[in-house]
Structure formats: structure tokens, C-alpha cells
Amino acid sequence: MAGSRLDLIAPVAPALLIGARGFDDLSGFDPASSTVVQGLRPDHDALAGRGFTLLPTLGDLPPGDGTFQSAVVFLPRARALARARIAAAAAALPTGAALWIDGQKTDGIDAVVKEMRGLAPVDDVQARGHGKIFRVTVPAPGWLPADWAAADTRLPDGFVTRPGLFSADGVDPASALLAAHLPAKMPTRVVDLGAGWGWLSAQVLARPGIETLHMVEADADALACARLNVTDPRARFHWADATTFALPEPVNGVVMNPPFHDGRAADPKLGARFIRAAASLLTGAGRLWMVANRHLPYEAALAEHFGDVAEIGGDNRFKIISATGARRAAAPKGASRLRRR
């Protein structure tokens, strides 16, 4: 866990923390003088609840280098996002300030230490818990390659994505397979749980029948791209945790390609919670269409929450499931109502 090395450093306030998660031990930081950039809604809400100032995306950082005196970058696995976070922290700090970078070996911290040594003064490299934390003393502006700064990517088919997003380089094959198995005519009110940057939602809206499509996504960067990619007025955007998402009225369709990883750790229980959430959103006659990696054991969750479950297609990697007869569970604890942004 990233936070297990934070007690090794003494950051100067006011501090900027980019990418801290809800489970990180931030006890060495005074929430009153610390700002966290975190766009995953459950983590964002957990940290805001502890009194920190939260910003959902790097683009929300104030311009200039006067606000913060130190920063900690939590290294993500995606290299482009790691660079974007380092560039944002550097831009937010004055020359001479400490920029700490913390990361796991499995996320490439050793390569980052090496790369940063070639760009700036690096010291205080400390190892613990299969990872490292180290300090970069920020040189005068212009020390980082300009292309490290976060930039949206426009894919050849026109969709906009951002570093670190799921399937940022193109359409996910599982989503493409699911889209190929959707009916020619869709129900009137549909929810896309975990809508990402919006490709699957765009395919849903291209079919006749839809009156309203609710796009539910936990990642603020993904949802920002989805807003650019899906300009259809029938779309509603919800920055929310899909596993606790609720609407005032039930819908008659849900589509989803649920996540089964949280960071590096595989967590099939997350998909099971999406199945439960889908059932809680649907009418009894409504229908779920979902895609999953073939090896993922979702059958028990599907049987628990739906009366009629069928595999309607797939290949050796993915299975396409259609389910109806939702048994509406009581709204999950902490269920959100129409969180919009």
C-alpha cells in the first residue's frame, strides 16, 4: 500500500497529494492544509469525509506555483498518467520545493527513480514494503519534457481519451463483443454501469428505442471524456459509484462491462456488486446485457439477483450474458440518488 512509506518523509505545508487513495494512511498530513487530486468517486468521498480538500482531476489544479510548498505523487501503473501527475506536481510547486514520488516496484518505481535522476536532483531514496519513496528538488521551470503534461488523445474514430483510463488506446474488445450482441431495438430507459469514456454508450444510443441513457462512471477523468464523446441530449452523466447508484424510478435496460480489477489487484467481487446494482435498478421485466472474461465466476451472483439468466454469445475469452427477472435487492447501504456533475 502506498501510504505505508509516507511516515518516512516530512512534507512542508501546504501539501499537494496526487492520486492518494481512500485506504492510504495520510495521518502525517494536516487535512486543513492538504489538497488531494483524486477522481475515483469512492476514494474522493472517503478523503473529503476526512477533511481534505479534494480536486477530481489534474485540470482542476489552480494555475501557477504559489499554492503548494511540497507535493507527493502516488505512482500509477500507466506510464503516461505517471508522467502527467509528475508534470502537474512540478507545475504546482516553486523552484527548490520537494516533490516526493512514491510507488511500488510492480508499478515501475525503480525505472522512475532512474529517469528522474537524469532530469533533476534526486535524494532521500527510501525503500520499504516492495516499493520506494524519494525526493526530487524542483529545478527552475522547463526541466521536464513538455509532452509529460496531461493531454487528451483523439482516437482515429474521433473518441477522446485521457492517460490512465481503461482502454485509453482504443475500443475494448469485450465492449465491442457486447455491442455486437445488443438487440436491434433497445428499451426506453437504460443505464450503462461503468460507462468509461463512453464508447459502449455511444453504440447503445445509435440503436432505436432509447429515451434516456444514464451513464454511471466513478472516474472523473473518464466521465469528462464521456461528456466530450457523447453529446446526445438523451444521455445523463453521473459521477458515482455504480455499486451504490440509485435512481428514483426503475429502468428497463442495463448494459455493462464491469471492472474486475482495483488497481493491480483482481477483485471479482466488484463485478458481483455491479450485478447486484444492475438488479436493483431494473424492473422485473427489464433486461441486463453484460460482458465478462470467461473465467470470472459471476454465475452465483447472477442466479442470486436474476430469475432468468442466459449466455447469448461469446468466444474463448469473453462471455455475453443476458438476464431478466431482477430480484430488486434493498438499496445498498449509502446508496446515492442522482449524483450529477
Among 218, 247, 251, 326, binds ligand SAM (CB under 6 A): 218
Q: For the window 310-339, what string marks contact with ligand SAM as x by the rule CB under 6 A?
A: ------------------------------
Residue 64 CB, nearest approach to ligand SAM (Å): 30
Q: Which residue is associated with the grid cell 442522482?
A: 338
Residue 217 CB, nearest approach to ligand SAM (Å): 5
Q: Which of residues 229-258 bind ligand SAM (CB under 6 A)?
A: 241-243, 257
Question: In which region does residue 106 sit, left (phi positive, over 0), alpha (psi from -120 to 50) or beta (all else)?
Answer: alpha
Q: Which of residues 110-149 bind ligand SAM (CB under 6 A)?
A: none
Among 57, 153, 167, 283, binds ligand SAM (CB under 6 A): 167
**Residues that contact ligand SAM, how many (by CB under 6 A):** 19
Among 19, 164, 194, 286, binds ligand SAM (CB under 6 A): 194
Determine, following the binding rule CB under 6 A, whether residue 219 of this chain makes contact with ligand SAM.
yes
Residue 139 CB, nearest approach to ligand SAM (Å): 35
What b-and-e string marks burial along 77-96, b requiring 16 or more CB atoms within 10 Å of the CB?
Answer: ebbbbbbbbbbbbbbbbeee
Residue 98 has a CB neighbour count (10 Å cut-off) of 20
Phi, psi of 215 (to 5 degrees): -105, 115
Q: Which of 92, 100, 102, 101 is nearest to 141 (CA)?
A: 92
Closer residue to ligand SAM (CB): 80 or 91: 80
Q: What separation in angstroms does the CA of 140 have from each of 73, 121, 144, 220?
A: 19, 12, 10, 31
Where along the sequence are the contacts to ligand SAM (CB under 6 A)?
A: 166-167, 172, 175, 194-196, 199-200, 216-219, 222, 241-243, 257, 259
